[in-house]
Amino acid sequence: MKRLFLISIILIGFCMAGCATTGLTGNERWLSQVVGHSSNELLAGLGAPTQVINRGDGATWIYVVDSSTRSSRQYQVFVDSSGIVRSFDVKTVRRVRRVPQPRVITEEELQTQRAEAEETEVALAEPEAKVETPTEKQAPPPPPPVAEKPKQPVMKEEAPPPPPPPVVEEPAPSVTEEPMPPEMQVVEKIVYTPVPVTREVHANRYIFPTITFAEGSAELPPKGEFDEATGEFVSGGAQLEQAAELIKKSGSDKVFVEGNIDSAEEAQYPNLGRTRAEAVAKALADLGVDPKVLDVTDDGASKPLASSDTEAGKALNRRVAFTIIPSGQSLEPETLVQPPAPEPGPNVRIVEKVVEKEVATPKLVVADYFIFPNILFEFDKADLTPEGLQNTARAAEALKVIEGVRKVIVAGNCDSRGSDAYNDELSLRRAETVKNELVKDGLDASMLQAVGNGKRKPIASNDTPPGMAANRRVAFEVQH
């Protein structure tokens, strides 16, 4: 009995084993044959697996879904670190008949699948060199037939749409811009307003006491003759030649020839002063003075030098004097000349600007120089000759009657002979001599000052004997 029982159990086991073997699918039978072989053969037969998991401990699990049977199964294949398939497990996922749904795979998805396959191959490292065993030497079974993948329809690339027709830009309608009006220009118009000022013009008035007239007369006394022997002018004659030399030497373009009368003549001879000045101007023109520079004036009795109570005072008042204006100076009052006005225009606005401008009125400031004749000295000395002493006394009488005298400067002068230093010293000594004589004749010494001009202030040319005689003089500058 026991033997029959054991035989029955063995038969039942064989039947179950046969049933189990008979129930394996094609993929399961192939997997069972791959156990012990390289995982490269497994991947070559499976294509792209569902999932490859590297656990990090040298073992790899490959999950494969089998859709060849009515029930969808999932195979879990274990690959060791040497790349050999060691076992697999089968798990039924669901028992639903799967009807493949064809779908269009885009080029993008196809590229993604190819990239995943490449990543899978990279994930599986090269297998280590395996040790062949007698069992492993047998040739591996051929891989199961791989179901043909449905052909993926190739999406035809649509032809690019034709380019749009070129856009022809129509020219913008021309717009005529109106010109902007020019900006208003502001222009200043300068307007001068006068500011009166006084400008002094300094001049010298030369008085030759011998150019004098008898009462009520315009007849000139005879001019002083020049003595060739003595080299001096003869006393008693009018100093017309000396006056002519003085005017020519100055180079002035205006000389006032001033005619005067004394107070006793004023009522009876009102125009006598002009008549006397015209007579002198004619005599000067005869001596070579340009008449154009001579300006005849009639001062009448308005400028007396002295009181007419004495004969000396009357002689000084009946005189013709010469006021020499320095060259380049003018006695005409300035005229205010307005600057040119700007031109008016449609876009010009004229703004008036007032500017102060000085307008000068000249004021003549005159210094009186008395040139007495023949104040003579010994040759090369500072001693007066007898004639020189007499003429110095006459000068003292005239100076004493001049009214309002504040100061008298006695100036000695020489001709051009000799050195500067010698003439400066000699002219000063001669001035001191005349000053002392004036004090003896009654003038106050405190109002007298002696100076030596040497040869620096000639009143005539030194090229002729008469001119040199005129330069050897003592002049008296009278300050009022």
The CATH code of the domain that includes 334 is 3.30.1330.60
How many domains is the chain partitioned into structurally? 3
> Does some domain include residue 417?
yes
Tell me: do 328 and 353 sit in the same domain.
yes
CA distance 298 to 468: 32
> Does some domain include residue 152?
no
Taking alpha carbons only, the member of 69, 89, 90 closest to residue 79 is 89
Q: Average pLDDT, stretch 239-259?
A: 91
What is the C-alpha radius of gyration for the chain, rounded to an integer number of angstroms? 74
Q: pLDDT at position 295, please?
A: 96
Comparing 157-161, 218-222, 263-267, which segment has the lowest mean pLDDT? 157-161
Q: pLDDT at position 296, please?
A: 96
Which domain-ending residue is among 109, 142, 175? 142
Phi/psi at 231 (5° precision): 75, 20
Tell me: do 335 and 409 sit in the same domain.
no
> Does some domain include residue 275?
yes
Taking alpha carbons only, the member of 280, 278, 271 closest to residue 300 is 271
Tell me: do 330 and 388 sit in the same domain.
no
H helix or E strand, kind and range, residue 353 = strand 348-371
pLDDT digits 0-9 by tens, 184-209: 889 999 999 999 999 999 999 999 98
Query: 12 is written with which tokens?
Result: 């039942």
CA distances from 146 to 26, 61, 115, 318, 462 (A): 11, 21, 21, 165, 152
Task: State the chain's mean pLDDT as an integer.
Answer: 79
Report whether pLDDT(371) > 60: yes
Task: Provide the residue range defining the domain that includes 115.
Answer: 26-142
pLDDT digits 0-9 by tens, 114-155: 787 777 666 665 555 444 444 444 555 666 655 555 555 555
> Does some domain include residue 359?
yes
Under DSSP, the state recorded for 457 is S
Q: Which SS3 state, helix, strand or coil, does residue 187 take?
A: strand
Which domain-ending residue is among 337, 363, 389? 363
Q: pLDDT at position 76, please?
A: 72
Taking alpha carbons only, the member of 461, 379, 466, 474 closest to residue 427 is 474
Which domain-ending residue is among 335, 363, 391? 363
CA distance 186 to 347: 9
CA distances from 53 to 3, 50, 79, 272, 278 (A): 51, 10, 10, 154, 149
> Does some domain include residue 18?
no
Tell me: do 102 and 198 sit in the same domain.
no
**Of residues 38 and 70, more confidently modeled:** 38
Is 360 exposed, middle or buried, given 0-12, 13-18 or 19+ CB atoms closer than 10 A? Answer: middle
Which residue type does 229 have?
A
Q: How confident is the model at residue 20 (pLDDT cuts 50, 70, 90)?
A: very low
> Does some domain include residue 1?
no
> Does some domain include residue 3?
no
H helix or E strand, kind and range, residue 423 = helix 420-440
H helix or E strand, kind and range, residue 92 = strand 85-94
Q: pLDDT at position 321, please?
A: 95
Q: What is the DSSP string of 213-266?
A: --TT--PPPPBPPEETTTTEEPTTSB-HHHHHHHHHHHT-S-EEEEEE--TTTT
Q: pLDDT at position 10, please?
A: 46
Tell me: do 244 and 348 sit in the same domain.
yes
Report whether pLDDT(14) > 50: no
Tell me: do 114 and 35 sit in the same domain.
yes
Comparing 89-93, 256-260, 395-399, which segment has the lowest mean pLDDT? 89-93
Tell me: do 188 and 330 sit in the same domain.
yes
Tell me: do 247 and 335 sit in the same domain.
yes
pLDDT digits 0-9 by tens, 217-237: 999 888 777 777 777 777 667
pLDDT digits 0-9 by tens, 327-369: 989 999 999 999 998 988 888 889 999 999 999 999 999 999 9
Q: For residue 136, what is the domain's CATH number? A: 3.30.1450.10
Tell me: do 93 and 202 sit in the same domain.
no
pLDDT digits 0-9 by tens, 88-122: 676 654 544 554 556 666 777 778 877 877 776 66
Tell me: do 136 and 113 sit in the same domain.
yes
Tell me: do 125 and 209 sit in the same domain.
no
> Does some domain include residue 284?
yes
Q: pLDDT at position 101, please?
A: 58
Report whether pLDDT(172) > 70: no
CA distance 201 to 26: 147
Question: For the range 381-388, what are the long-range contacts, defined as Cβ-Cβ under 8 Å and sequence gap of 24 or more?
Answer: 382/426, 382/429, 382/430, 382/432, 382/433, 383/433, 384/433, 384/434, 384/437, 387/235
Report whether pLDDT(16) > 50: no
% of the chain at pLDDT higher than 90:
37
pLDDT digits 0-9 by tens, 286-329: 999 999 999 999 999 999 999 888 888 888 899 999 999 999 89
Q: Average pLDDT, stretch 164-170?
A: 68
Tell me: do 338 and 195 sit in the same domain.
yes
